[in-house]
Structures are given as C-alpha cells and as structure tokens.
Chain A
C-alpha cells in the first residue's frame, strides 16, 4: 500500500436487514484514498455509492449495518472486526467509539457534502448560524472569531458580499449558491478528507462547471483529499485522479482516470462511457445500458453484471469474478473484476442469449437484445 494513503477501505460489507430480505448494498469493496487526491466512485443509482461513503463516517442507520471489513483512517480504526473462534465477527477493541467518531472524526477529519443543496441546509436558521455552529464545534474558535472565519470561508467559495449573505436564510440562496455554502461548511471545519456525495447532480451544467473549478482550486490550495461520488463520467474525467466503478454493491473496475477512460477493461465501465455523450468522440447513436440494475437482495449469481452485459458468456453465470490486475505498467494499479481477464474459461464458453435464457421481464420489449450480435466481443486482451 502506498505511503500517502490516508484512508483505506478493505472488504467493506454494509447490509440492510429489511422485511423483504437482506439488501447487500455494499458487498466486499476495497479502495483507498491518498493525501491530496480526488478519488471518484462512479456507478448507477442504487449501486451502493452513498452507502459506501456513509459507512466511512459510520452514519449507517437501522436497519443497516456494517457487517464486515475494515476501514482505517490514518492510524485510527473506524471499522474493524476480529474473528472469534466460533467464526463470528466482533468489533475490534481499538475501533473508535461512537463518541470518538463524533468528536474526533466527523467534521474535523472527514467532512461530507450532501447531494441535494436544497435539503442540506436547515430552513429555520440563517446560513451563517449553521456555518458558525459547525465551526465552533470542530475548531477552537468561538463567537466572533467563528463568525469571522465563516465569512472568510463564504468569500473563499465565491459568495458575493459574504458579510451580508451570512445573515440570510437558505431559501434566499440559489441552488448553486447553496452548494457553495455546503462546500464552505465542509471546508470551514478544515477536514483532511471531504466526501462529496453527488454534490453537483442537482445543479445545471454551468453552475456545475463553476463548482468543479472551485473544488479544484480549493483542493490545490489546501491539499484536501476528496472522495467524489457521482454517476457522471464527465465529472470524473474533469476532476478525479483515480476512479472506482461500482455496480450492485461491488467495485468492478479501479484505476487511474486515464486508464479507465482510454484503456477501459470492464464491460460495465465501457457501457457507462458509451451511454453518455463525449465531446472527444462522435457517435451516431448513444448506447444506453439495457435494462435496470437487479435487486441487491438477491443479486445474480456469478458476475453480477452478466444479466445486462453485452459480452456475457455462460461462464459469467457461474464464476464470481476476482479482482485481477490489468496494469500495463507496474505503477498504474489498474484492476478489474471481469473473468475476461482471468483464466477461468471465459473464452471457451458459449455467449449468453439474454432474451431466451434470462429473466428479461425487467427489459423493455423493444430493447431486448435478441438481435444484437453477441459474437462481436472485444478482441482478446
């Protein structure tokens, strides 16, 4: 593992125990974050991205539970389990208590920016009041010093007339301005790592661009690390250093952003890239991913993507793909979980006829891939 690693997530599983069954929202994911980099977590809605990030802050609520895995932030154990002789997992002794999480980690070490700027500010208080609350809580500043700091941070995130705006209520701000306020609230606590949970999804593209530039600038200035959760490959290309692609609770591909874009390995990543317009490529038609993501209560056997994968073969239904290193140079650390790149018989296997052999009730009639030529897979790696 790299020396600069500040956060490492190893084999994290977060499950939700619902009446319908166990939702394996996050099922054995591992990734790390190094000092000063922006790590992307990409995937469709419901892939488990937000659950993964809230697990890092241990903000998972009933009926959810972190059932396995290890999360280490610098030298502290946020989540860790010891296996007892009877095979059950018990939390490690050195794991932070809830009180320690609250006072030592949340806010001052790891902050989070939520998805919806409209909902993330308390409507009954002024923006300044909330900002000041967070500053007083996480830094040794009080009263007027905290207020001054709050105004400074608002200025820094590009809010005009911060002294006047400090006393305004959230509903008096536009969406983009509110998102800036949320970023200010995260920054004001001087965290070492900021988790941004789809912070620009609710904004229009021009504002999104401004926010992304702002984040890049601030990140250069403070050297803060980011985990950037998004479903937008464009945003990933814009700001991320390394990327984790998630599908149905698992990370399917992981690597530096250039590798992910220009040396795409996993069919899901490929499909994601093909389903969004890209300025660097002209295509006649976008190629959206067929169908919807299966339920995380009863995920497909074998590779979880095989029900929708254009490259799926018989073997994909049986073999649970392992993470394999597909780096071409030793230091790129490009990994993917697809049996194409593993020696488990993918190439000898028969292509899957999705429409005839699979439950396709979730696929729209006119989108069924009966006529799609499944033989035309990528060349051998």
Chain B
C-alpha cells in the first residue's frame, strides 16, 4: 500500500491530515469494513436515484400522485403516461416466502394494499435525500459560522459561538419538532424536517471546524497570504477552510446516517414525510399497530434503515482512520 506516501502526508501536514485525497481513498479501499460501507451507500444512493426511473410508483402509492416528493425534478414523475394504472391489490399481503405470499408483492402489501417493496425502494429516495440535504445544510452553515468565528476570534467569535450554543442547548428532537410545527404552520412535511435537522446540526459542525481553524489560522501560510494582501474572505475560503475540513468530512459522513434516523423518527411521530409519500419512518408508524399480526411490515423498513445507517457509519469510521495519520494500514 501507499505507506510511504501516507507517512509523507502525515509529516508534511505537521501531524495533521491535510493533503492527499488520493491516498485517503486508497486507504478506504484497503479497509474492508469501510469498503463495505461505501458499497452500501452506493447501492442505497443508486436505488434512490433510479427508483424514479424504474420502480412502479403507482404500486407504491396506489395511483395517488404524491403531492410532494424530493425527486420531483426527475422528469419521468411529471409524465403520468409512464405510470401504469393501479392494479387490484389486497391489503396486508404477507411476503413471498410466507404462507399466502406471491411474487406479485415480494415483500407483501401494506394496509392500503400498496406494494411494500416499491415503497421501501421509494423510501430510500426520501431517506437519502433527507440525509444528504440535512447534512449539507448543517455543514454549510456550521462551516461558515465556525470558520469565521475561529478566524477572527475576539468579539465576533464570542457572538457567533454563543448563538450557536443557544441552538446547541436545545435538545435536537424538540428543536426539530417545534421548528417543523411552527414553520409549516401545522402542515408538517419532510422538507421542514430536513430544514430543522440541518439547523440543529449547525452547532456541532461549527464547533468542530472552529477548533481546527484556531490552529490553522496560526500557520505561516495564512500569515503569508495576509502579507501578500489577500482579502480575509478569500483567506477563509481558499486557505482556512480547506485545511480544516478533514474532521468535518468525517463527521458529515456519520451525520448523514444520523439525520436519516432522526427524520425517520419524526416521520414515525407524524412530523416528517406525510402520506402518500413513501418513507421508512412513516411506514413504521403505520406498521406498529400491526406488530403482532403482520410483523414483516415493521421489519422491512427497520432493516432498510439499519442497513443504510450502518453503511454510513462504517464508511465514516473508515474515513476517520484514513484521515488520521497515526493510524496507517
């Protein structure tokens, strides 16, 4: 493996992970669990992306066109002609391997007779979109606030970080629920949940990057940039953030899984995705009354959530190891 390159990276960065994304990728590839996580993410992402093209939406929604899905930009959804007419379906069909199951509905059907497999596949789209957007939001906001606070220090730092700590002091779930209810005006939807989770994660991101910026801003190349007359804005954008980004990236990977989990929880509570949008958490909500009669209805979304989050966590751990010069495979 690229061991020598790795040692160089570590040494040159003053013991900090700063350069060599190619090397990081090599290390992740060489780590079987991280690789497995990456595969899971890749599969889940492609399911999420291509479900719009291929899966049978009408089977997932019983022909009721969802008034909102995150994948609306995909043109096929706008074209009702592509959607086959809903077929007759029995509610509470068991999966194919159980007694009375059929290949027509491999994972069975839900309370409205909708195909469970299609709904799980569509649920991936909502979950992945939720995970990525919420994390992107928190990361962007957090990195901006944390980098500015850390770079300028002094009063700017105090004001920004106190503001962030106020957000941080409110339990995330409470914050998100209150935000969702208030902003949506009583009509909760998954988009508000995403916004809420994004805002709730700003504090962690800003604290992570700020602590790195505090050491990066003392580096000579920052001083050199200032001495050459580079504007503060460009110093932060070009020099400070890229050199402080590694721990943020690791946390973001883990955070995607966490955001999926929180939004699934919100949907379960009824504050997230609304019917008929297929969403794993919401499916769990509908299934939990059927726990004893139709246990598979709870198991499938649960397994889907488990595998997806595990994928992100394994990849995140692998990335952390790869970016930490003290651990070299």
A residues with a Cβ closer than 8 A to B are: 57, 59, 62, 102-103, 105-108, 111-112, 114-116, 118-125, 130, 133-134, 137-138, 169-171, 182, 185, 189
17 new A-B contacts at CB < 8 Å, known A114-B220, A122-B225, A122-B238: A59-B226, A107-B227, A114-B224, A116-B220, A118-B12, A119-B14, A119-B221, A120-B221, A122-B243, A123-B243, A124-B19, A124-B243, A125-B238, A137-B230, A138-B228, A169-B19, A189-B228
Instruction: Indicate with 1 or 0, residue by residue over B218-245, a CB within 8 angstroms of chain A CB atoms.
Output: 0111011111111100000011001100
Q: Which of B9, B220, B227 has the most CB of A within 10 A?
A: B227
**B228 contacts A185, CB within 8 Å?**
yes
Q: List 22 A-B contacts (CB under 8 A).
A: A59-B223, A102-B229, A102-B230, A102-B231, A105-B229, A106-B228, A107-B229, A108-B229, A111-B227, A111-B228, A112-B224, A112-B227, A116-B220, A119-B220, A120-B221, A122-B221, A122-B225, A123-B12, A124-B243, A137-B230, A138-B228, A170-B12
| Nearest-Cβ distance from residue A166 to partner chain B, whole angstroms | 17
Q: Give the bracket for the number of chain B residues in contact with chain A.
A: 20 to 34
Say if the beta carbon of B185 comes within 8 Å of chain A.
no
The A-contacting residues of B in range 18-47, CB under 8 angstroms, are: 18-19
Distance between Cα atoms of A249 and B229 in the complex (Å) = 27
B10 CB to nearest A CB, Å: 10
Contacting pair A115 B220 (CB below 8 A): yes
Determine the chain A residues whose CB is within 8 A of the CB of B231 once the complex forms.
Answer: 102
In the A-B complex, the 9 residue pairs with the smallest Cβ-Cβ separation, listed nearest first, are A106-B229, A107-B229, A171-B12, A107-B228, A119-B220, A120-B220, A122-B221, A112-B227, A124-B242
* B residues lining the A interface (CB < 8 Å): 8-9, 12-14, 18-19, 153-154, 219-221, 223-231, 238-239, 242-243
A121 CB contact (under 8 Å) in B154, B221, B227, B242? B221
- CB <8 Å contact, A119 and B12: no
Q: Which residues of B contact A59 (CB under 8 A)?
A: 223, 226-227
Q: Smallest Cβ distance from A240 to chain B, in angstroms?
A: 22
**A138 — which chain B residues lie within 8 A by C-beta?**
228-229
Residue of B nearest to A106 (CB): B229
A138's nearest neighbour on chain B, judged by CB, is B229
